[in-house]
Amino acid sequence: MTGPERLLGSSIAGERWSRGLPKAELHLHLEGTLEPEMMLALARRNGVDLPFPDVYAARRAYVFDDLQSFLDVYYAGCSVLVEAEDFAELTIAYVRRAARDGVRHAEVFFDPQTHTDRGVPFAAVVEGIEAGLAEGERELDVSSRLIMCFLRHLDADAAMATLEAALPYRDRIVAVGLDSSERGNPPEKFGAVFDRARAEGFLTVAHAGEEGPPDYIRQALDRLGVRRVDHGVRCTEDDDLVARLVAEQIPLTVCPLSNVRLRVFDTLEEHNVAAMLRRGIRVTISSDDPAYFGGYVGDNYVQTAQALAMSGEEMRTIARSSVLASFLDDTRRAELLAEVDTYS
Ligand code: ADE
Ligand code: ZN
């Protein structure tokens, strides 16, 4: 029995082991790392009214029935982000927190339309985030990539205009993605936008199969040409789709604590991430919107391992997959894989 096999059952040492496991975080909305303390401080600094008088009221509001009830609160919180320095502060705070959970590489989402529709310049958003990521790399040796998401509840023309606004930043944004309200907004709605994005050299990812049906996962693969599926947990309702995900080793960026908070699963014990791993799907684990869902990526690893009786080697496989599924260059990827493989 290897070290972690022995340790995971016994909680404190096993917890420390899973948390410290070197990993990449591939599904993280920067705006979802806005802790109530920072939200209230920025609201004061920028003169923005919030529906929460204090930190306690904000946390009390973080009880959700589904994805939409969360998004309503999340977009209200985003309104405090105004200046480039706000985005920089948010980003460096995330990288510092993630580094404590063994994160060695992060691929972070941002939602420009949430900000540009309020009059915040695209440049302030990207340049602020970039400054925070660069500081994280200097200070903590955490590498990163930026992924720009389109809001799927808005129309395809708005997404196309956002893509055009991003073209001057082409060398700083590795991929485009698709997020927000999934039901009723299928991936195919954005087919032409993703065609253009791929023609411009962006890689593509998309949220699919979080609340939406397995067919949305197929559309993301076939119509949007995605390299990874964000969430994808509803794939297990369709055996043919599972067989394809296994055969093509398509990575899923699964966020267990998010799925419980948004009622995709009633409890962590009922989550299908361990079953998907054991069926041969390339699953990874991330935190999604950790300020709202009660845990960062380390908490997702620790609590999922405990709830689903996952072994140390299974958790190592997930960490390994996170590095393999990243958009890193070969040199850094090999370096991080060696860190995962030799971790004890
Ligand atoms: N935006 C932020 N978090 C999201 C999630 N879990 N699903 C869809 N859109 C999101
Ligand atoms: Zn997400």
Query: pLDDT by residue (tens digit) across 40-61?
Result: 999 999 999 999 899 999 999 9
Q: Is the pTM of this model over 0.95?
A: yes
- pLDDT in the model for residue 155: 98
Q: Of the ligands numbered here, which is closest to the C-alpha atom of 108? A: 2
Q: Of the ligands numbered here, which is closest to the C-alpha atom of 286? A: 2
Residue 1 in this model has a pLDDT that exceeds 50: no
Closest ligand 1 atom number to CA of residue 258:
6
C-alpha distances in angstroms, 301 versus 211, 274, 284, 315?
22, 11, 10, 7
**Which of 29, 109, 151 is the best mutation target for the ligand 1 pocket, counting ligand atoms within 8 Å of the beta carbon and taking the most?**
29
Mean pLDDT rounded to a whole number for the chain: 96
How many A from CA of 344 to the centre of ligand 1? 34
Q: Of the ligands numbered here, which is closest to the C-alpha atom of 70? A: 1
Which domains, and CATH codes, for the chain? 4-342 (3.20.20.140)
Closest by alpha carbon to 140, among 109, 104, 106, 101?
A: 104
Query: pLDDT by residue (tens digit) across 71-127?
Result: 999 999 999 999 999 999 999 999 999 999 999 999 999 999 999 999 999 999 999
Eight-class DSSP state of 52: -
Residue 16 in this model has a pLDDT that exceeds 60: yes
Question: Whose C-alpha lies nearest to ligand 1, atom 10?
Answer: 180
Report residue 106 as tokens.
Answer: 């992060």
Question: Whose C-alpha lies nearest to ligand 1, atom 1?
Answer: 180
DSSP result, 150-204: EETTS-HHHHHHHHHHHGGGGGG--EEEEES--TT--GGGGHHHHHHHHHTT-EE
Residue 2 in this model has a pLDDT that exceeds 50: no
Eight-class DSSP state of 141: -
Q: Give me the residue label for tokens 């306690």.
A: 56
Closest ligand 1 atom number to CA of residue 182:
8
Report residue 278 as tokens.
Answer: 């054991």
Report how many helices (DSSP H) and strands (DSSP E) the chain contains, helices first. Answer: 18, 8
* Ramachandran angles phi, psi of 70, nearest 5°: -70, -45
- Residue pair 109/30 in contact (Cβ under 8 Å)? The answer is yes
Q: Could you give the 3-state DSSP secondary structure of residue 281?
A: coil
Cα–Cα distance for residue pair 108/129, rounded to 1 Å = 10
How many A from CA of 287 to the centre of ligand 2? 8
- pLDDT in the model for residue 12: 81
How many A from CA of 2 to the centre of ligand 1? 37
Question: Whose C-alpha lies nearest to ligand 1, atom 8?
Answer: 180
How many A from CA of 288 to the centre of ligand 2? 5
Which residues are known to be catalytic? Answer: 210
